[in-house]
Amino acid sequence: MLIKCPECGKENISNQAVACPKCGYPLKAATIEATGKRYKGRQVMGALAIVVGFILIVTDHFAIGVVLLILGLFDIIMGYVGAWWHHG
Ligand SMILES: [Zn+2]
């Protein structure tokens, strides 16, 4: 796949390239950082789902609360596994 350098705008750089051949911008690091943010976002969403799930359970909406708790836990676990997997 070919990408565009986010720093100098040079096009048709391989996404396997470690850095931009024109300006030397570190492309691999940028990719890892973006991946990390994506999984962080997923963990935040999971934490929110757990909080909302608890609120629903204590306000007598047990079934939907449990579903949210499970989904939240799943998101957090997937966030950890995904971040670990992508960082190697
Ligand atoms: Zn560049």
Ligand 1 centroid, distance to 11 Cα (angstroms): 8
Report the pLDDT value the prediction gives residue 81, as an integer from 0 to 100.
Answer: 87
Ordered DSSP codes for 9-78 = ----EETT-SB-TTT--BHHHHHHHHHHHHHHHHHHHHHHHHHHHHHHHHTT-HHHHHHHHHHHHHHHHH
> Quick check: pTM over 0.75?
no
- Rounded distance between C-alpha atoms, residue 53 and residue 64, angstroms: 7
**Of the ranges 9-18, 33-42, 55-64, which one carries the lowest mean pLDDT score?**
33-42
Ligand 1 centroid, distance to 81 Cα (angstroms): 31
- Rounded distance between C-alpha atoms, residue 84 and residue 72, angstroms: 18
Ligand 1 centroid, distance to 35 Cα (angstroms): 20
Predicted confidence (pLDDT) per residue in 19-50, tens digit: 899 999 888 766 667 777 888 888 899 999 99
Ligand 1 centroid, distance to 7 Cα (angstroms): 5
